[in-house]
Amino acid sequence: MTDLDTQHVRTTTFRARYSETDQMGVVYHANYLVWCEIGRTDYLRDLGMTYAQMERDGLFLAVADASLRFHAAARYDDRIRVDTWIESVRSRAVTFAYRVVRLQDDAGEVKLATATTTLVARDAEGRACKLPDTIRDLLVRAGTDAP
Amino acid sequence: MTDLDTQHVRTTTFRARYSETDQMGVVYHANYLVWCEIGRTDYLRDLGMTYAQMERDGLFLAVADASLRFHAAARYDDRIRVDTWIESVRSRAVTFAYRVVRLQDDAGEVKLATATTTLVARDAEGRACKLPDTIRDLLVRAGTDAP
Amino acid sequence: MTDLDTQHVRTTTFRARYSETDQMGVVYHANYLVWCEIGRTDYLRDLGMTYAQMERDGLFLAVADASLRFHAAARYDDRIRVDTWIESVRSRAVTFAYRVVRLQDDAGEVKLATATTTLVARDAEGRACKLPDTIRDLLVRAGTDAP
Amino acid sequence: MTDLDTQHVRTTTFRARYSETDQMGVVYHANYLVWCEIGRTDYLRDLGMTYAQMERDGLFLAVADASLRFHAAARYDDRIRVDTWIESVRSRAVTFAYRVVRLQDDAGEVKLATATTTLVARDAEGRACKLPDTIRDLLVRAGTDAP
């Protein structure tokens, strides 16, 4: 993981949905990948480019690998915060990192999970391609934005 | 509902997934629409046309309305059977009906849900269109296949 | 549907998730039931009782039937608003109604879907039971709250 | 990854569901964790113990970490096979490995993804606990079943 002190971190908050729980009474583990994607969507929006527009422009970011570590369970209606930052940028790929926490009523927080996902650039035909310079530069600047 | 005795009914079976349960310990209700769609996919395959190919040919069937009635709950790992048949065919739409049952170890079955969904034809640009004659004829014959 | 002018209507807003889309490029129809449930959760919270607490107190509301009508498609990252109100309350069941709209950048809105779901009361053992008087009264008042 | 030649490998097959696709036209990445869980369920069933029964007996296996690598995309209606085996067994945890392939009409196969998940034992109160000896022994034998 990178040093958060020198990184831009974007946060997004929402409540855990009933549909996201399973019979163990907690949020089903695969849904954390969905939550990471919400964090990623909001991260890119904050940089001034939406992923929706990127796809309309013919650039697709496909998940190439993902790893998750689970520390505590989320429950229905919990207030969840996803912190998203960029871990690395290469010519054809970008790696995002995530920390998922539960917000407590006492203003404290409990770490639920950490994760990383690496996304590779694809064109409209699904072929691997380079990240366009403008997008790559934005991501690099966001990922190394030291004070 | 139509008279099943004079209808082709196609069945598909599978087990309820852990991911489909919720914290009430049963399968989350929205997943029954997913199960209906599996039944519909298999129904069309049995008629000799796959929905995957229909989309590649530029014909899309979009759900225009759906209604479900729940009678009993499905649980994780239950053996589920979906019976699918055609309730009606119009020039631009087709209505499927479904019965979802749990298969018991004693060879009995328990009715879990009944449902109908109406699907309307769309072309590749998303505009409403007529069902092609060949497809409409197949559906009409399947839907009125009296002995 | 009831006359909205004489009803309490609660709204909740969020963005359509990438995970909610399907290969038709729009939000998969079953996810509207998930969205209705989010509306229902927020409706109950606004009445001063959370559904999470209701379950901890041993009262479960199980979906007994659902009907949905789809008018237009939602797409990834669309801003969605769900309006939720109560259509009827009986001794053992409550029917919620929903209207799902897409919020436009020009402050306009487009109706995407309407739906109703009827939920029946169950105790901790899964048996049908009456709605507790306090809860039933709250729901009745919310559902008939004419000016 | 372990040497598959000296391992019991269980396979399970099914078709990719329409609901599992996203607007990129392929199966959404989080669904591979669902597929792994189906593989795991069938693996345990083949050992003569169902996970459903394990939970009824008060033993829960919670996912503690997961990692996935994606090689090629699955599409709607593809025939999918999940190979599942055990990578390691410890006193309180078991690690499963998975390989997900698409079955081709020509009897060939295309590797779609590989993954591992580590599950930790929990009792009915959610506390970390040891795997019962009988279950641990079964898993160890299955995981080291050299010819």
Tens digit of each residue's pLDDT (9 = 90 or more) over D15-50: 999 999 999 999 999 999 999 999 999 999 999 999
Cα–Cα distance measured from residue B26 to residue A23, given in angstroms and rounded to the nearest whole number = 7
Q: Which helix (H) or strand (E) holds D106?
A: none
- Chain A residues near residue D30 by CB distance under 8 angstroms: 30-31, 33-34, 37
Nearest to D70 among A24, A65, A126 (CB): A65
Cα–Cα distance measured from residue D134 to residue C46, given in angstroms and rounded to the nearest whole number = 50
- Residue in B closest to D55 by C-alpha: B76
| Residue pointed to by tokens 């831009």 | A8
pLDDT at B8: 85
Shortest Cα distance, chain A CAs vs residue D147, angstroms: 33
Cα–Cα distance measured from residue A55 to residue C72, given in angstroms and rounded to the nearest whole number = 21
Tens digit of each residue's pLDDT (9 = 90 or more) over C41-60: 999 999 999 999 999 999 99
Strands, E, within chain A: which ranges?
A: 10-15, 60-70, 79-89, 93-103, 109-122
pLDDT at D2: 46
pLDDT at D6: 55
Cα–Cα distance measured from residue A103 to residue C147, given in angstroms and rounded to the nearest whole number = 37
Cα–Cα distance measured from residue D71 to residue D90, given in angstroms and rounded to the nearest whole number = 29
Nearest to C41 among A18, A34, A52 (CB): A18
Q: Does D70 touch chain C (CB under 8 A)?
A: no
Q: Does B52 touch chain D (CB under 8 A)?
A: yes
Q: How many CB pairs under 8 A join B and D?
A: 34
Q: Report which residue type is found at D113.
A: A
- Residue in B closest to D16 by C-alpha: B38
Q: Does B60 touch chain D (CB under 8 A)?
A: no
> Is B67–C68 a contact, with Cβ atoms under 8 angstroms apart?
yes
Residue B5, pLDDT > 60, answer no
Radius of gyration of chain C (CA): 16
Q: Does A73 touch chain B (CB under 8 A)?
A: no
Q: Spell out the SS3 assignment of B36-96.
A: HHHHHHHHHHHCCCCHHHHHHCCCEEEEEEEEEEECCCCCCCCEEEEEEEEEEECCCEEEE
- Residue in A closest to B28 by C-alpha: A19
Q: Does B56 touch chain D (CB under 8 A)?
A: no
Look up D22 and say whether it is catalytic: yes
- Residue in B closest to C114 by C-alpha: B65
Exposure class string for C15-35: b at 16+ Cβ within 10 A, else e: bbbbbbbbbbbbbbbbbbbbb
Nearest to C92, CA basis, from C130, C59, C128, C126: C130
Tens digit of each residue's pLDDT (9 = 90 or more) over B105-123: 888 999 999 999 999 999 9
The DSSP code sequence of chain C is: ---GGGS--EEEEEE--GGGB-TTSSB-TTHHHHHHHHHHHHHHHHTT--HHHHHHTT-EEEEEEEEEEE-S---TT-EEEEEEEEEEE-SSEEEEEEEEEEEPTTS-EEEEEEEEEEEEEE-TTS-B-PPPHHHHHHHHHHHT---
Catalytic residue (one of C22, C65, C77, C137): C22
Which candidate in D22, D34, D51, D70 is best for mutational testing of the A interface (most A CBs within 10 A)? D70
Residue pLDDT tens, chain A, 147 long:
444 555 689 999 999 999 999 999 999 999 999 999 999 999 999 999 999 999 999 999 999 999 999 999 999 999 999 999 999 999 999 999 999 999 998 889 999 999 999 999 999 999 999 999 999 999 999 987 543
- Chain D residues near residue B79 by CB distance under 8 angstroms: none
Which residues does A68 contact at the CB level (< 8 Å), separation at least 6? A29, A32, A33, A113, A114, A115, D65, D66, D67
ipTM tops 0.85? yes
- Residue in C closest to B112 by C-alpha: C64
* Subunits close to C (at least 3 CB pairs below 8 A): A, B, D
Q: Does B72 touch chain C (CB under 8 A)?
A: no
Token pair recorded at residue C86? 């109560």
> Is B67–C65 a contact, with Cβ atoms under 8 angstroms apart?
yes
- Beta-carbon neighbour count of residue A70 at 10 Å? 23
